[in-house]
Amino acid sequence: MAATLVALLGVSAQATTLRLTTEVSPPFNMLEGDKIVGRSTEQITEMMARAKVTVTMELLPWARAYNMALKEADTCVFTTTRTPEREVLFKWIGPVGAAEWILYGNAERNLKLQNIEEARSLLIGTYHGDARDEYFRSRGFRVESVSDDLSNPRKLLLNRIDLWAASLVRGALLISQNGWTDKIVPVLSFHKVDLYLACNPSVSTALTDKLNATLEGMVRDGTSRALERKYARWPLPPN
């Protein structure tokens, strides 16, 4: 996404301001007018306010958001899948959400998969820099990545890829928004992951420990569960 939004959140006497980066990934992070909202966004905003940490927040393309947290001091990215390959690259706060990974296929081809190994001979479309891209590449699957995830369902309909790897929520949203409900169908649910705020190692352990403790408090007092319920039916209006 070309637009960048910066918002000051919280008040703190600390000298360090955390720079938070994220992407459009409903219902976890998204733009509503000129405001960044979403389940993970609201959870992280509340956590920072309770911990009295000052932050800025920017909405960026995923690869840029991720690389900034990877390389720049006092920078964190969300909502990030915690994988063995990424474990030592960041300090982790969370989980702040969860996701189910799905392989989608062209309905006309009527592909049937019993397990992930049966996809090994097929070409899988992924999003550049995404955890699903890392997942398949590290396991030796045939992968073709794109810089814009919307390109994947379009390629799927043209039979330029055999499968599209996406999260259940994001995949279903793109399919619904573009009128592809009868054309693109789920083939296999293959993995479930927790999602985190991933911070550059320069962020102090004392601070990340404080934020994790604050988040645990939000779980205990029901705040996290309330946010989960709030976005459970998104984008449908509340009853």
Which of 55, 52, 51, 68 has the alpha carbon at shortest distance from 18? 55
Superfamily name and number for 100-192: Periplasmic binding protein-like II (3.40.190.10)
Number of residues written out for the chain? 239
Average pLDDT of 45-55?
Answer: 96
Arithmetic mean of pLDDT, 203-226: 96
pLDDT surpasses 90 at 161:
yes
- pLDDT higher than threshold 70 for residue 106: yes
Q: What is the pLDDT of residues 58-73, one digit of tens each?
A: 999 999 999 999 999 9
- pTM for the structure as a whole: 0.81
pLDDT greater than 80 at residue 239 = no
pLDDT band for 169, please (50, 70, 90 cuts): confident
Judge residue 124's burial from the number of C-beta atoms within 10 Å of its C-beta, 0-12 exposed, 13-18 middle, 19 or more buried: buried
**Alpha-carbon torsion, ordered 218, 219, 222, 223, to 10 deg:** 40
- For 150, residues 6+ apart whose C-beta sits below 8 A from its C-beta are 174
- What burial class does residue 138 get, using C-beta atoms within 10 Å of its C-beta: 0-12 exposed, 13-18 middle, 19+ buried? exposed
Q: Which residues of 185-218 are buried (b: 16+ CB within 10 A; e: fewer)?
A: bebbebbebebbbbbbeebeeebbebbbebbeeb
Residue range 7-98+194-230 forms a domain whose CATH class is alpha beta
Residue 231: per-residue pLDDT: 84
Q: What is the mean pLDDT of residues 23-51?
A: 92
Alpha helices in the chain, H assignment, sequence order:
39-51, 62-71, 131-138, 151-157, 168-177, 205-220, 223-230
Q: How far is CA 69 from the centre of its chain?
A: 14
- pLDDT, mean over the chain: 90
In single-letter form, the type of residue at position 47 comes to M
Domain with CATH 3.40.190.10 in the chain: 7-98+194-230, 100-192
Question: In this prediction, what percent of the chain has a pLDDT beyond 90?
Answer: 77
CA–CA separation, 163 and 119 (whole Å): 8
Specify the pLDDT at position 235.
62
- Tens digits of per-residue pLDDT, 195-209? 999 999 999 999 999
- Does pLDDT of 2 surpass 60? no
Q: How far apart, in whole angstroms, are the C-alpha atoms of residue 212 and residue 92?
A: 8
CA 184 to CA 144: how far, in whole Å?
18
